[in-house]
Structure formats: structure tokens, C-alpha cells
Structure 1
Amino acid sequence: MNYSATAPYVWDPNFADAPDCLLSADQCVIQAQHYFVKGLIEIPVIGSDEVFSWGVWVSLSRENFSRAADLWDTPGRESEKPYFGWLTTELTIYSPTTINLKTNLHTRPVGERPLIELEPTDHPLAVEQRVGITMDRVREIAESLLHGARSESG
């Protein structure tokens, strides 16, 4: 019921050894100039109590990234106001691109990934987040991702 991107769209494996770059499971810094946090776009599954999640990356300003990092292990951090960001994960099953969709990143309790709320536009991903998806759509996404992975590896 979820898919997760390992790095922001703009990450290059050559950055891995650079002193001004960092990629962890939750945070990413590129050349000490670009800052990213991983969070979840949660989509309700219609007719169930289940949620489909996209684990994606959002770029934040240096100030918001620093604030989020400072509070990362602080109980009560979920009372923080949302941080504005740009989606930096390409979800290829959507058209047009998901790169640079406007978002708000909502911090949740320590140990939980932040919630990413998309700007309420007519982009298909934003619509799905607002209205939910059917279990058939979940299967369609899974099949698309599975076949995409096969074609990339073979």
C-alpha cells in the first residue's frame, strides 16, 4: 500500500562522497545549497480504512530545513506550522509531471514521517489526495510500478 523513492529527483550518485552532500533515509542536502525532507503523500482508499502512501521528497528553504532538523527528535514537534516546499519526486504514472508541485509539509510526532499536503489543484495526484482512490486504482498503480521496474532492470 505504499511506494517510496530513495532520493530526490535531482540526486546524483556522484554526490554520495561529496563533503557538502548528504543522503539519509529522511533528509538530503545537495552541495550545501538544496535541502530536502522525505514525507508521505497519503491517499485514502475509498470504501476502506486503508491509506495508500507515496514516500516522496520535498525541497525546503534552508531556514525551514534547519528548523525541521533542529526539532527532528523533539517531542511536540507536530505543533509546528507546516513548511512550504516543492515536490522533488517524479511519479511517472502521473501526467503532467509531479516535479515542482507546491506542497505543505506537516511535521508529525517523533518517529512518524511528515505528511505532505499538495496544493489543491487539478493535477491528478492532488485530486487523488483530496477525493481518494479505489482499490482497483491501487492495483493499477502497483501493476504500473511493477512493470516499470521490470523494464528498467531488463
Structure 2
Amino acid sequence: MPIEHFFDYSCCADRHEGPPLSYGAPAPEGWKPRYARRRDSELTADQCVIKDREFYVHGLIEIPVLDGDEPFSWGVWVSLSEANFARMHDLWEDPAREQEPPNFGWLTTELPLYPQSTLLLKTHVHTRAVGRRPLIELEPTDHPLAVEQGEGITGERVREFADRLLGG
């Protein structure tokens, strides 16, 4: 699934200079357009079900930008168990959802800028306030994405993402 650039910033509606701070995938890796015609499959901006057997939620891997004011975000999809997905779905508009414990999930978005595959990295999905995408926390490993989430990146790395993804 290709990575797309998003220009929405979580802090405000102001226009920002510099490279975008968010990119994301429109669907989980396993989604195929023909599934949209099936009754047992659905893709929205926030959730996805494939053949009533695979369940996904759209969230953000946030990475601190060490010399910036806002984090960098990868918009990614994470698979959840059916039970955890159902609970998250049921509480989607409930303000009390922030009290839920994190759910285990598998990353199902390939981020092509990393030398190792990002597919199936272990994650924890943290529900946030209604209207905010879940926060995706990677389990600490030596994978470059997990290292970046734990240690942060520089503005130069953000510009590198923009150059590679936008062809700048």
C-alpha cells in the first residue's frame, strides 16, 4: 500500500512552513479495492474489516522531533483481535474510552523508508480522546522505526522523509 502525505497537523489549522509532519497509508496492507463490494468487508478512515475475519484500526506512530515543536507522525494500520476491535468499535464515540487499557496489535503498514520491513512489528494501541486517532506504541526493539520512536529524530530526518516520499 503506498504511503500518502497528509498535511493536517494535530495542533491547529494554521499553515506550517517546512516539510509535512505526517504521512500515512489509506488502508491496511491486506486491503484490496474489490473488498469494497463485499458485505463482509468495510474500509473507513478509522477502521477496517476484511471478510469478517481481519480487524484493523488506523492510528499514529508519533516520533518526537528533537529540534522541533511537534512530533512527526506515521499514519498506520494495526490488526487487532476480534474481541479488542469490537470493544474499541463499541466505545468509538464514548468519552470514557480514554480509560481503556492499551490493546496488543500487529503493524500492517509497510513503511518503505526503513531498511527492514515494518510489517508485523508488535504494537500497543492506546485509545485517546474522541476525535483523535489512537496512539500506536511500538514494542522496544532494535528496528529503526522503534528506535526512532523511542529516541526521536531531527528536523533533517523529517526533510529526508519529504525528499524521498515527495520526490523533492
| Unpaired stretches in structure 2, ≥5 consecutive residues | 1-20
Match of 1:111 among 131, 136, 141: 131
Shift of 1:122: 0.4
- Structure-2-length-normalised TM-score: 0.86
Q: Hey, what does 1:32 align to over in structure 2?
A: 52
Q: What is the letter of the counterpart of residue 105 of structure 2?
A: G
Q: Secondary structure at the match of 1:103?
A: strand
| Unpaired stretches in structure 1, ≥5 consecutive residues | none
Larger displacement relative to structure 2 (40-49 or 121-130): 40-49
Q: What is the letter of the counterpart of residue 131 of structure 1?
A: E
Q: What is the letter of the counterpart of residue 47 of structure 1?
A: D
Q: What is the letter of the counterpart of residue 57 of structure 1?
A: W
Q: Could you report, residue by residue, the CA deviation over 1:13-41 in whole angstroms, capped at 9, with x for unpaired residues?
A: 11111110000000000000000000000
Q: Secondary structure at the match of 1:20?
A: coil
Shift of 1:46: 0.5
> Would you say 1:132 and 2:152 are equivalent positions?
yes
Q: Hey, what does 1:8 align to over in structure 2?
A: 28
RMSD of the alignment, in Å? 1.0
Q: Which has the higher helix share?
A: 1
Q: Secondary structure at the match of 1:76?
A: helix
- Structure-1-length-normalised TM-score: 0.94
Q: Could you report, residue by residue, the CA deviation over 1:61-83 in whole angstroms, capped at 9, with x for unpaired residues?
A: 00000000000000121110000
Shift of 1:47: 2.2
Match of 1:81 among 101, 116, 125: 101
Q: Hey, what does 2:41 align to over in structure 1?
A: 21
Q: Secondary structure at the match of 1:63?
A: helix
